[in-house]
């Protein structure tokens, strides 16, 4: 049975993926996933190696699906160069022509699209990503973040309806990231469909209301980001506590409604809870009420991978 | 669109190190010819020019090596570093990309090889009545430039081991196999170059007599160029990111 999802920021579905699988020999990179995406910004979230780039490459026509169908704006993505009139792609990596200036690179892309006023289009795209000051420098001397921005300018120079970005914020500093995020938000407000991949939860949270979570090639969750975020927060959490009197504190904590289990483990207490926030407020209060000195209160296994693993199990 | 990609490819191919290597290679035949003229043994300059210089050095070594360097880089280096995505993610017919790449590789190869053949040939044969041999070789080399470039552009579109396979084709197939089995000469760009040189040369048969007829050679070269372009276009149409072969 396929993993189905609908991520619908806007009204129409510009991207329709049905039963998509992609494998390399015996390795399954993407396994039977289905989703639709409309206008607005959608985040493709998952740990490294989850299959995000494979999904983006099949959507952009640079990978042939092993099974299933991929349609962008009602047309198949595979072997359909005319689709690039309405599709922009920012691939992962730093590949730009190092002998060109940023402006030459964007202008080249505008001309390859056959734009009537390529110069004006290039100027506009460079302004969107805020690269006017560095546009006349060779891209070979750009930082990773600058390369990312000039690649985005090149990808939006023809004002595509659908924009696909693979890890667009990697290597960017906070100021660059904020500028790029604002630019993408502005494009989304103009009715564009934007899908970007990231393994950083905060990036997705900041930028997109809708999210596709992909783990081990499967679609683990999709839809409204806040609902998924709540799922992540409401999952079982584990804390390690060290105090002046572990045994007495453990007894007191067992009476707390937020606590679902307590265990003495060596010189520490292991506490399980379903309510992360409530427990972090309650634990110090209990210790103070019992007049026990808290030495350490640590959430264990809060890595993004463990959050993803929990979503998969569900 | 072809013109834009052609100029882009020229800029890519004219990296300092690559150009320096090719220019050094291109100067060698002239030095060899000069050494020959300055030496004392001048039994049969037209024969030596045809067999040793123009065939043995220019068509056997300089032409395929230069075409290999430019032909495999024109498309292969873009596939390798990922910049090919910028061309393929445009609504451009793939044949325009292949033709532009082939044009750039052929032009640079020709600019290095043809003047080198002309200069060294005329140095070696100066004073002889059989200077038409050089003209024949210049036309053969020029057409061979396009055929070799097409073959190597195709190789780089199909595999990331284009340089290795190209070297094997030049030195093993053309250097050994076609010398041992005469039937394989139809599958050799080198033999076709000699055939074309023979067709346009005014030299006597005693001085230069290729194994392949001129018309046959022209047809095979045309098939090589058209076939390579068609297959390279097919390969680009099915291009997949991260595909290794």
Say whether pLDDT at A85 is over 80: yes
% of chain A at pLDDT higher than 70? 89
**What is the tens place of the pLDDT at every residue in A253-282?**
888 888 888 988 888 999 988 788 888 888
Say whether pLDDT at A8 is over 60: no
Say whether pLDDT at B138 is over 60: yes
Among A23-32, A159-168, B203-212, the range scoring the smallest mean pLDDT is B203-212
Minimal C-alpha gap between B159 and chain A (Å): 17
Average pLDDT on A93-100 reads 87
Q: CB contact, 8 Å: B238 with chain A?
A: yes
In the predicted model, what is the mean pLDDT of chain B? 90
At A215 the pLDDT is 86
Say whether pLDDT at B66 is over 80: yes
Question: Sorting pLDDT into bands at 50, 70 and 90, what band is A7?
Answer: low
Reduced to 3 states (helix: H, G, I; strand: E, B; else coil), residue B151 is helix
Q: How far apart are CA A90 and CA A130, in angstroms?
A: 17
At A142 the pLDDT is 92
Average pLDDT on A32-36 reads 93
Q: How far apart are the first and last CA of chain A?
A: 16
Q: What's the gap between Cα A301 and its chain centre? A: 21
Q: A99, A106, A112, A150: which to substitute to probe chain B, counting the most B Cβ within 10 Å?
A: A112
At A314 the pLDDT is 58
Q: How far apart are the first and last CA of chain B?
A: 29
Q: What is the ipTM of this complex?
A: 0.85
At A237 the pLDDT is 81
Q: How far apart are CA A159 and CA B116, in angstroms?
A: 49
At A4 the pLDDT is 46
Nearest to A164 by CA among A30, A52, A75, A18: A52
At B245 the pLDDT is 40
At B116 the pLDDT is 94
Say whether pLDDT at B40 is over 80: no
H/E segment holding residue A242: strand A237-243
Q: CB contact, 8 Å: B23 with chain A?
A: no
At A200 the pLDDT is 83
Say whether pLDDT at B164 is over 90: yes
Say whether pLDDT at A57 is over 70: yes
Q: How far apart are CA B147 and CA A44, in angstroms?
A: 46
Contact A82 B91 (CB under 8 A): yes
At B152 the pLDDT is 97
> In chain A, positions 44-103, which contact chain B (CB-CB < 8 Å)?
57, 60, 62-64, 79, 81-85, 87-89, 91, 93, 95-97, 99-100
In the predicted model, what is the mean pLDDT of chain A? 87
Contact B241 A95 (CB under 8 A): no
Chain A residues in contact with B237 by the CB 8 A cut-off are: 79
Q: Which residues contact B36 (CB under 8 A, 6 or more apart)?
A: B42, B45, B48, B53, B124
């Amino acid at each position: 049975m396929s993993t189905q999802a609908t991520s619908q920021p806007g009204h129409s579905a510009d991207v329709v993926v049905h039963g998509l699988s992609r494998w390399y020999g015996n390795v399954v990179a993407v396994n039977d996933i289905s989703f639709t995406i409309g206008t607005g910004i959608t985040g493709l979230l998952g740990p490294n190696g989850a299959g995000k780039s494979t999904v983006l490459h099949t959507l952009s026509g640079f990978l042939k699906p092993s099974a299933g169908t991929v349609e962008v704006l009602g047309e198949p993505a595979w072997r359909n160069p005319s689709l690039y009139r309405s599709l922009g792609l920012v691939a992962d990596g730093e590949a730009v022509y190092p002998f060109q200036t940023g402006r030459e690179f964007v202008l080249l892309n505008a001309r390859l699209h056959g734009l009537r006023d390529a110069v004006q289009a290039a100027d506009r795209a460079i302004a969107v990503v805020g690269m006017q000051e560095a546009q006349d420098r060779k891209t070979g001397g750009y930082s990773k973040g600058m390369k990312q921005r000039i690649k985005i300018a090149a990808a939006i120079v023809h004002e595509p309806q659908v924009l696909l970005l693979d890890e667009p914020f990697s290597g960017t500093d906070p100021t660059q990231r904020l500028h790029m995020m604002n630019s993408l938000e502005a494009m989304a407000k103009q009715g564009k469909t934007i899908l970007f991949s990231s393994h950083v939860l905060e990036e997705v949270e900041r930028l997109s209301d809708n999210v596709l979570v992909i783990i081990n090639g499967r679609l683990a969750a999709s839809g409204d980001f806040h609902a998924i975020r709540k799922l992540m927060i409401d999952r079982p959490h584990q804390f390690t506590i060290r105090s002046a009197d572990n045994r007495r504190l453990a007894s007191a904590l067992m009476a707390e409604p937020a606590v679902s289990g307590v265990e003495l483990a060596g010189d520490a207490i292991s506490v399980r809870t379903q309510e992360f926030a409530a427990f972090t407020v309650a634990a110090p209060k209990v210790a103070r009420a019992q007049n026990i000195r808290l030495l350490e209160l640590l959430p264990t296994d809060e890595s993004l991978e463990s959050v993803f693993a929990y979503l998969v199990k569900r | 669109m072809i013109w834009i990609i052609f100029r882009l490819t020229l800029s890519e191919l004219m990296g300092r190190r690559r150009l320096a290597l090719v220019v050094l290679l291109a100067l060698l035949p002239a030095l060899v010819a000069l050494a020959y003229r300055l030496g004392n043994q001048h039994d049969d300059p037209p024969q030596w020019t045809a067999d040793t210089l123009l065939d043995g050095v220019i068509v056997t070594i300089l032409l395929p090596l230069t075409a290999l360097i430019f032909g495999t880089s024109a498309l292969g280096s873009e596939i390798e570093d990922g910049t090919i995505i910028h061309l393929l993610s445009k609504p451009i017919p793939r044949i325009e990309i292949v033709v532009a790449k082939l044009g750039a590789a052929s032009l640079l190869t020709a600019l290095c090889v043809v003047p080198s053949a002309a200069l060294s040939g005329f140095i070696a044969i100066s004073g002889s009545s059989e200077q038409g041999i050089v003209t024949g070789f210049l036309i053969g080399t020029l057409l061979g430039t396009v055929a070799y470039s097409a073959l190597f552009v195709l190789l780089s579109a199909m595999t990331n081991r284009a340089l290795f396979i190209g070297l094997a084709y030049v030195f093993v197939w053309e250097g050994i196999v076609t010398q041992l089995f005469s039937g394989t000469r139809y599958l050799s760009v080198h033999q076709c170059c000699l055939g074309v040189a023979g067709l346009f040369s005014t030299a006597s048969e005693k001085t230069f007599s290729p194994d392949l007829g001129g018309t046959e050679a022209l047809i095979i070269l045309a098939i090589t160029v058209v076939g390579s372009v068609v297959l390279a276009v097919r390969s680009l149409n099915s291009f997949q990111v991260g595909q290794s072969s």
